[in-house]
Amino acid sequence: MIRILIAAAIAMVVSLFLSRALVFWLTRLKIGQPIREDGPVGHITKAGTPTMGGVGIVAGATAGYIISDLYHGIYTRTGIFVMLSILGAGAVGLIDDWIKVVRERNLGLNKKTKMFGLLLVAVVFAILMTTYSPVHTQISFTRFNYPGWEIGEVLWSLWAILLISGSANAVNLTDGLDGLAAGAAIFCFGAFGVISFWQFRYPDLYEVPHALDLAVISAAMAGACLGFLWWNSAPAEIFMGDTGSLAIGTGLAALSLATNTQLLLPIVAGLFVVETLSVIIQILGFRFFSKRRVFKMAPLHHHFELSGWPETTVIVRFWMMSGLCTALGIGLFYGDSLRSGIVGLIAGTY
């Protein structure tokens, strides 16, 4: 437990100070985020705000994970593979962000190149997990044998690739308002911290031998997002960019795969799912229903902005929705543990 707290604290401090350093350095070099012309009018004033703040998140989480190991810790293969996936996705996002600021336009890597980078990260993660980690190859909800649909290593790898690419893009779509994605990510990583620690407490039920290490990573990512949020909250002094959003989305998917809770991820990360669905609905409505727009603008947060909600109101209310989704996810996970017999018997003695 102490190692988990150490990881969160170190990650928060490193992210906090590194993000501040990035604000100073990028502002001095006049390196800022271009704003797309077809976005909300109120966002034009944000042009030039430093970006690539996701470097602080990734670096903070990595520092928290590595340094916390000095306190009676032990690195595990699963934990290392999850951290490598976060670093890999962050590297893809960093290249994308750098191209944006250098070319001074809101387009970095083209879609195919960015997707190729994400797929490469996902493929490497899937291969490492199925080859060197004791991961279960079932599609699961709250534990490996519930519902426990065995699909084998090949199909599990394809499932992992789909989940990672989808999750990374979902967070990327949500990252459109100051602090929105970072705040929601804190809830999500906090949930996986609770889930991983619970699995560590009851190894016979969940069969996740590296659960404690996954709890440390969850805490480190939550702490890093919290430290970054100090500078990213409205009005933002720095944006996370694709560096942060792709790393966060990949981290959430990798943790769900490692903890055998893939089907629980859409509930825990419900806000990101809703934002993505709003984009899909908007595209389908425009293409197949006489170019009609279901929303004033997608993703969904822009719809409420154009409906007259102040940006801070949208952010706080969406944070609340994210918190409710996270609470529901943890509730379902805990409820299943009570019904499972072993934990239910233990809980009944208290």
The amino acid present at 41, given as its one-letter code, is V
Q: pLDDT tens digit string along 247-296?
A: 999 999 999 999 999 999 999 999 999 999 999 999 988 888 767 788 89
Q: Is the pLDDT of residue 150 over 80?
A: yes
**pTM to 2 decimals?**
0.93
In this structure, what DSSP letter does residue 105 have?
S
The predicted pLDDT at position 176 comes to 87
Q: pLDDT tens digit string along 165-186?
A: 999 999 999 998 999 999 999 9
**Could you tell me which of 136, 51, 65, 132 has the C-alpha nearest to residue 94?**
51
Q: Is 51 helix (H, G, I), strand (E, B) or coil?
A: coil
Q: Tell me the Ramachandran region of residue 100: left when phi exceeds 0, alpha when psi lies from -120 to 50, beta otherwise.
A: alpha
**Could you tell me which of 241, 257, 256, 277 has the C-alpha nearest to residue 189?**
256
Please give the helix or strand (H or E) that residue 143 lies within, else none: strand 138-143
253 CB-near residues (< 8 Å, 6+ apart) = 160, 163, 164, 166, 167, 168, 265
Q: Is 175 helix (H, G, I), strand (E, B) or coil?
A: coil
Provide, rounded to the nearest whole percent, the portion of the chain with pLDDT above 70. Answer: 91
The predicted pLDDT at position 350 comes to 45
130 exposed, middle or buried (CB, 10 Å; 0-12, 13-18, 19+)?
middle
CB 291 within 8 A of CB 343: no
The predicted pLDDT at position 50 comes to 87
Give Cα separations from 176 to 180, 182, 188, 310, 326 (angstroms).
Answer: 7, 11, 18, 14, 21
> Is the previous residue joined to 50 through a cis bond, with omega within 30 degrees of 0?
no
What value does the mean pLDDT take over residues 83-111?
A: 84
Distance separating alpha carbons of residues 186 and 322, to the nearest angstrom:
10
- Scan for tokens 């502002």, then name that residue: 27
pLDDT bracket for residue 31 (50, 70, 90): confident
CB 72 within 8 A of CB 19: no
The amino acid present at 230, given as its one-letter code, is W
The predicted pLDDT at position 28 comes to 85
In this structure, what DSSP letter does residue 139 have?
E
SS (H, E, C) 29-49: CCCCCCCCCCCCHHHHHHCCC
CB 270 within 8 A of CB 147: no
Distance separating alpha carbons of residues 263 and 280, to the nearest angstrom:
20
Segments making up each domain of the chain, as ranges: 2-267
From first CA to last CA, the distance across the chain in angstroms is 21
Q: Is the pLDDT of residue 340 over 80?
A: no
Helix/strand number for the chain, H first, E second: 14, 2
Q: pLDDT tens digit string along 207-233?
A: 999 999 999 999 999 999 999 999 999
